[in-house]
Amino acid sequence: MEDRIGKLLLDRLEEIRERGEGDVKLKDVGEIVQELITAIQEEIDGNKEIFDFVSSISDEIISMKSDIMSGYGENEDIQMVSARLASVTESTEKAANIIMDSCEAIQAMLPQLGNEYLAEQMMRNCTKIFEACDFQDLTGQHLTRVMKSVSTIEDIVNKVINALDIQIEAPAAQVDRLALEASAKELMNGPSVGSAPSQEDIDDLFDNA
Amino acid sequence: MSINPNISILIVDDYRTMLRIIRNLLSQLGFNNVDEATDGMTALKKIGEKKFDLIISDWNMEPMSGIELLQKVRSDENNMSIPFIMVTAENKPENVVKAKEAGVDNYIVKPFNAETLRGKLVSVLSKQAS
């Protein structure tokens, strides 16, 4: 902005000098001032447009954040959401352990069953149950990723709010970084979703790498 | 091919649920000489104290990841030939390539089943025997 206004001023002065009329007339000063005011006004209008645009984005994000938080009560912030997700992970771990305890108890009793075919079938099904218990590991990884994403979004929102010095009624919730980082450390990278490569794809890739 | 069921196996995963699942599946396959570690650093310490015939490791762990563990093992002349299987949810092609370049013997994607684990074990251990 300063460069443009400065150049405008210098150009006008140069023009007056080239005319060789000696003293700068009051009329010229008036014109220069008017031109400078117009140029400054244009700059301000341009910045205001950007400011208004970013402000509207911020308002949208703040509004979305309020909508998300509304389901968790007035005093609960994103930290609480993270705590709830961590609690889900803990609960699924507990459930997985109970299931595996029961499976192991069944497996231990199989030799006493006295029916080899039945014992084999039951062992096979116990194996399937064990295999399925990896839901705890995989859901834990997904939840950790969600928690990290929520944290990142809030971080961006807060940065925008601070950068634009936007005043909002309630200050943005501050995430407990340490708690999030601790949970994130448990599993940094979650499993892929959607069209993720299968074991066969991985085998092909591995064999040809 | 028959595999000695007494081989010593080290499983490494930061999720105890996964350790337990893998241990149980190995037990059903006849392998009961199994040790556990919850991260690469702990695993490395165990590898220094005991001779293992196979390492099965997760990728994402703190403070030392599975890929770092693999690199450490491969750079240690006393342990560089231990078969190493990566069991992980990290199925990005670049990760598979990175693991192979680091010297991994096989790569299992989570979720997996007992049959996949058995197949990879046979594949890795038969290569080792030949």
SS3 B108: strand
Q: Please give the backbone phi and psi of residue B38, each rounded to the nearest 5 degrees, phi first.
A: -100, 0
Residue A175's pLDDT is 44
Where residue A168 falls (left for φ over 0; alpha for ψ -120 to 50; beta otherwise) is beta
Cα nearest neighbour of A125 on chain B = B114
Test B110 with A196 for CB contact under 8 angstroms.
no
Residue A174's pLDDT is 43
Residue A186's pLDDT is 47
- ω into A111 cis (within 30 of 0): no
* Separation in Å, CA A202 to CA A66, B4, B61, B84, B121: 42, 28, 21, 16, 16
**Over residues B95-108, mean pLDDT:** 94
Test A197 with B91 for CB contact under 8 angstroms.
yes
Which residues in chain B are contacts of A191 at CB distance < 8 A? 89, 91, 110
**Which one-letter DSSP state was computed for residue A72?**
T
Residue A171's pLDDT is 42
User: Do residues A100 and A189 lie in contact, with contact meaning Cβ atoms separated by under 8 Å?
Assistant: no
The pLDDT tens digits of the residues spanning A136-188 come to 888 887 887 887 887 787 777 777 777 776 665 544 444 444 454 544 444 44
* pTM of the model as a whole: 0.63
Residue A168's pLDDT is 56
Residue A2's pLDDT is 59
Reported in sequence order, the residue ranges of chain A that DSSP labels E, i.e. its strands, are none
* Separation in Å, CA A84 to CA A62, A139, B32: 21, 14, 38
Nearest CA distance, A90 vs chain B (angstrom)? 11
